[in-house]
Amino acid sequence: MEKLSRQSWLPTTAKEVKERGWNELDVILFTGDAYIDHPSFGMAVIGRVLEDMGLKVAIVPQPNWQDDLRDFRKLGIPRLFFGVSAGVMDSMVNHYTANRRLRSNDAYTPGNKAGFRPDYPTVVYTKILKEIFPDIPVIIGGVEASMRRFTHYDYWKDELQHSMLLQSGADLMVYGMGEKPITEIVRLLQKGVPFEKLNTIQQTGFIVKSKNDIPLNKNWETVHLASHEECLHDKISFARNFKVI
């Protein structure tokens, strides 16, 4: 059996980036899971898709959010964007039972050890990245972000929460299976389209300042959902939203 070289894997450290002879990365991915290079781990798949497009990609698994944040700084600034995912499970399902009891293990951490990711890592990681590198775009995705892309009921807080896009401060959200959207995002960026103009890509969500900024297309069907404030005051409005979503 052919032995895999270290360069068979996406780099996870500055040393591994240097071993590849790279002086700059195009995309840096952050995930709440351990790095498992397998199709069942979405961030590994996205990394390989980006790599196949000719990009220099690195992945930071389970960064420490409780120290001096060196894990978020160690690979520098990417040329295109940061990518953030909580992992293959919603973090709260990963952390707590249905009775809201804290789980003692984490199946997606080496040795099944708990405590290597925060609650809502999509929000925590993104806020850290935006604080350290405010001018670098952050794209969020994965199960946690996808299922919380609109006003949603949070079982553990027992209340309605804002979209995770708003909670995190990310620049763009990719929901569902992310291979096609991320490919289109990179294709447009490589053509010179500014990041803030990426507003016509399917399976993406973004924040606009006013209704006048919403992109229109005669081939699209436009659906208006109740606002977060309306959902807070009217359960029927939230139910109608949920049916559409």
Domain membership flag for residue 227: yes
- 1 pLDDT more than 50: no
Does residue 15 belong to any structural domain of this protein?
Answer: yes
Is the domain of 90 the same as that of 192?
Answer: yes
**Residue 94 shares a structural domain with residue 145:** yes
Write down the pLDDT at residue 177: 94
Q: Is the pLDDT score of 5 beyond 90?
A: no
Residue 189 lies in a domain: yes
pLDDT digits (tens, 9 = 90+) for 145-160: 999 999 999 999 999 9
In this structure, is residue 201 part of a structural domain?
yes
> Is residue 228 pLDDT above 90, yes or no?
yes
- Residue 75 CB-half CA count within 13 A: 28
Same domain? 91 vs 73: yes
Question: In terms of pLDDT, which residue wins out, 115 or 4?
Answer: 115
Structural domain boundaries enclosing 104:
6-207
CB contact at 8 A, 46 and 178: yes
Same domain, 172 and 232: no
**Sheet of 172-174, strands arranged across:** 57-61, 27-31, 81-85, 138-141, 172-174, 204-205
Question: Is pLDDT of 6 > 60?
Answer: no
3-state secondary structure of 11: coil
| Among 84, 69, 86, residue whose Cα is nearest residue 121 | 86
Q: Whole-structure pTM over 0.85, yes or no? A: yes
Of the pLDDT bands very low, low, confident and very high (cuts 50, 70, 90), residue 163 is very high
Residue 27's beta-bridge partner residues? Answer: 57, 81
- Does 227 lie in the same domain as 203? no
Looking at the structure, tell me whether residues 31 and 81 fall in a common domain.
Answer: yes
Same domain, 113 and 224: no
Among 184, 171, 160, 170, CA closest to 241:
160
Max alpha carbon distance in the chain (Å)? 62
- pLDDT computed for residue 238 by the predictor: 96
Judge whether 46 lies within some domain.
yes
Q: At what angle do helices 42-52 and 179-190 cross, to 10 degrees?
A: 40
Q: Is residue 1 part of a domain?
A: no
Same domain, 49 and 77: yes
Q: Are residues 198 and 222 in the same domain?
A: no
Task: Please tell me the distance from the alpha carbon of residue 177 to that of residue 49, in angstroms, as a whole number.
Answer: 12
For the record, the structure tokens of 77 come out as 């600034």
CA distances from 60 to 135, 152, 167 (A): 20, 28, 22
**Total domains present in the chain:** 2
HEC secondary structure over 3-15: CCCHHHCCCCCHH
In a domain, 89, yes or no: yes
21 occurs within a structural domain: yes
pLDDT bin (cut points 50, 70, 90) of residue 8 is confident
pLDDT at 2 over 80: no
Contact 208, 198 (CB under 8 A): no
Same domain as 201, residue 219:
no
Residues 161 and 187 in one domain: yes
- Looking at the fold, whether 227 and 121 belong to one and the same domain comes out as no
